[in-house]
Amino acid sequence: MHMQKHTFQPKAPLEQKQLRLTQTLHQAFEQKVQCYPQAIVLNTENGLGLTYEQLNQRANQLAHYILQIKQQMGETDAFSPVIGICLEHDEEMLVSILAILKAGLAYLPINSTHGAERIGFYIEDAGIELVIGVLQYQSLFDESKVDYLCIDSEKAFIQTMPLHNPDVSIHSDPLACIVYVSKTAGVSKGVEISHTSAMRLSAMRLLRAEKHHLDLTKNNSTENDIWTLLDASTFEVHTMGK
């Protein structure tokens, strides 16, 4: 498996922000939910908007569903700690990322524009056993030996899951995600990004925003904002394969 750990260090972290770097990404988000449950975190297609509380509850339901699948699959074999995500950059991706992290697992973003052969390489190299996606992309994984959680067809079952945060033990500085970067020889290499590294990236963005007097998020708390937090660990979603 062609993996390497990648650690990001902010040049001049603020003492107040350093204390928050000990949190995981989803813990930082859950803190935001407690502070601003009714604040709009995402504008949706229906124009109603999605609040922090609503996003958290949807992520919790999917997380409980994933844990149920993990328990079932784990009865016969060791469950892979990394889950693939093949979705558009929208609310379903946010829900899925948060759900995977809340389940104590890591995720691998998969670009749907990549061919089956390249996707198959990611699956095999990262040891993926489960992919979250929609029916539209399911055929991309027909040749891969993975279980495919189709969130649109499984929606009714997912909505029966509990709304509360899952009680999952988190070890010190767990893996958050794996992204693949292209090397000079044309061979993609997997890079492991931990929760701490992703939180440091968020802190760096906050420092840059403060330096240039930018207000990137409402409530002026960039490192806890959902887009800033998760973009810190999914930056490669936008650039993979370009």
242 domain residue, yes or no: no
Q: Could you tell me if 202 and 232 are in contact, meaning their C-beta atoms sit under 8 angstroms apart?
A: yes
Query: Higher pLDDT residue, 4 or 61?
Result: 61
**Residue 231 confidence (pLDDT):** 59
- Expressed as residue numbers, the domain containing 230 is 3-237
Mean pLDDT of the chain: 79
Residue 47 located in a structural domain: yes
The set of residues, in sequence order, having a beta carbon less than 8 Å from that of 89 and lying 6+ positions away, is: 237, 238
CATH number, domain of 145, equals: 3.40.50.12780
pLDDT of res. 158? 98
φ, ψ of residue 188 to 5 degrees: the values are -75, 140
Q: Which two tokens stand for residue 65?
A: 């569903």
Q: Does 31 map to a domain?
A: yes
**44 is a domain residue:** yes
What's the pLDDT tens digit per position in 27-64? 988 998 999 999 888 887 777 788 999 999 999 999 99
Q: Count helices and strands (H / E) in the chain.
A: 8, 9
Give the span between the Cα atoms of 29 and 137, in whole angstroms.
28
**Has residue 213 been placed in a domain?**
yes
Let me know if residue 188 belongs to a domain: yes
Q: Among all chains, which residue has been given the structure tokens 């993926």?
A: 128
Q: How many domains does the chain have?
A: 1
pTM: 0.81
